[in-house]
Amino acid sequence: MYELPSRGRCHAAFLLAYSARLRPSGDFNSWVISASGKSTIMAASTDVLGTARLLVDINLASITDVVAINPVLAAFDSKADRHSLLGIARLLLQRCPPAWIGAAIVDGRLAPEFIPDSDLEALSWLGPDLEPLLVEIHHRLTRASFDERRKMLGNAGELAIMSALRYERYSPVHVALLSDWYGYDIENRRASATERLEVKACVRATADRVFVSRNEFDKAAKFGSEWRLIQVIFSSSVMVERTIIAAHVEEVRELSSGALQALAPDPSPTFRWTDSAEFRPTPDMWIPSALRVDNTFSLECR
């Protein structure tokens, strides 16, 4: 679903937010009638009823004892000037992005030829603000999608190593599902020692760096040779695939606790830890892993 933030739609949203503040009501119809009764030229020509329904549907308004306006919309309920209408347009675009926005932004620029003529006309009132608004919304959407995919990739890496260990008849524990406190993702008990494995997943283009939290670094120092970092390098196609399988794993390699410790400078007036740090191990620091992901490994991506 998408609802274009036409000038009329944005003005109707303003009237509804303004009326809810000026004359609180617990009744939907009374709220709409109050907003429709404002003596402005725009009020007579806007779809106040449809906009009220839209605001409720996208959680910019709710009705319990009284009509409650979401604070992000209420911030624009004082004056129907361009600043307020632009702010409302941004909210509507965020909550109801048009289906064509992915095609209409090319290399960070607006390509209006990919916008239907009727939609482009409805948005024409935005003038020079149209492009920055659409670019911003596109960035928010793609950023959210990228972050979600990155989390999925991290999960895939951990599950791939779990499958590799089970294939070797071990019974690893996926401790990352319990807490971040451990400072590693997988605990695997062998006859001689306990392995504490921190798994980092990546694609080939980002394999030269790893981000390590302060807690992970401290646990690496504490457990020494029991702790090691496992890097699972996936093919770049996993960023678009609906299912990740063993064939997508290009390489599995390891970094010892000692090698990681050697990369970090000692605390000093010019260096301090925050939540995490970026490490760039040299190629010779990596050790090929003996772990092999089970060929039956598969993970569905939503």
Each residue's pLDDT tens digit, 251-261: 999 999 999 99
CATH number for 267: 3.40.1350.10
Least confident segment among 27-36, 81-90, 193-202: 27-36
One domain, residues 157 and 59 = no
Question: Quick one: pLDDT at residue 87?
Answer: 95
Give a yes or no: residue 186 inside a domain. yes
Q: Of the candidates 57, 74, 96, which is a domain's last residue?
A: 96
Task: Identify which of 242, 171, 185, 192 has the alpha carbon closest to the alpha carbon of residue 213.
Answer: 185
**Residue 153 domain flag:** yes
Residue-wise pLDDT tens digits, 198-241 = 999 998 888 999 999 999 999 999 999 999 999 999 988 887 77
Three-class DSSP category at 20:
helix
Quick one: 91 and 173 in the same domain?
Answer: no
DSSP code of residue 265: P
Same domain assignment for residues 159 and 86: no
What is the share, in percent, of the chain residues with pLDDT greater than 90?
65
Q: Cα–Cα distance between 81 and 10 in angstroms, integer?
A: 11
Report the pLDDT value the prediction gives residue 198, as an integer from 0 to 100. 98
Residue at 205 is within a domain: yes
Q: Are residues 161 and 296 in the same domain?
A: yes
Same domain, 193 and 257: yes
Looking at the chain, the whole-number percentage of residues with pLDDT higher than 70 is 95
Q: Residue 44: pLDDT above 60? A: no
Q: Is the pLDDT of residue 174 over 60?
A: yes
Whether 131 is in a domain gets the answer no
Residue type, 199: V
Instruction: DSSP for 100-126, please give it.
Output: THHHHEETTEE-GGGS-HHHHHHTGGG
Q: Could you report the per-residue pLDDT of 150-160, keeping only the tens digit for each?
A: 788 899 999 99
More confident residue, 296 or 241: 296
pLDDT digits (tens, 9 = 90+) for 86-120: 999 999 999 999 888 888 888 788 988 888 899 99
- The interaxial angle of helices 82-95 and 130-167, nearest 10 deg, is 30
Please give the residue that has the higher pLDDT: either 64 or 156: 156
**Is 119 among the domain residues?**
no
pLDDT at 239: 75
Whether the per-residue pLDDT at 243 is higher than 60: the answer is yes
The phi, psi pair for 98, rounded to 5°, reads -65, 150
Provide the pLDDT confidence category of residue 266 given band limits of 50, 70 and 90.
confident
Q: How many domains does the chain have?
A: 2
Instruction: Evaluate if residue 273 carries a pLDDT over 80.
Output: no
The residue among 65, 96, 127 that closes a domain is 96
Distance (Å, rounded) from C-alpha 14 to C-alpha 35? Answer: 9
Give whole-number Cα distances, 275 to 24, 199, 214, 216, in Å.
Answer: 45, 18, 6, 10
194-203 and 227-234 strand pairing: parallel
Q: Per-residue pLDDT for 46 more than 80? A: no
Which domain does 278 fall in, by range? 148-300
The residue from 78, 96, 114 where one domain ends is 96
**What's CA 145's distance to the chain center, in Å?**
5
pLDDT mean across residues, the chain: 90
pTM over 0.75: no
Tell me whether residue 197 is in a domain: yes
Q: Is residue 137 part of a domain?
A: no
Average of pLDDT values for 52-75? Answer: 93
Report d(CA 296, CA 302) in Å as an integer.
19
Residue 59 is assigned to a structural domain of this protein:
yes
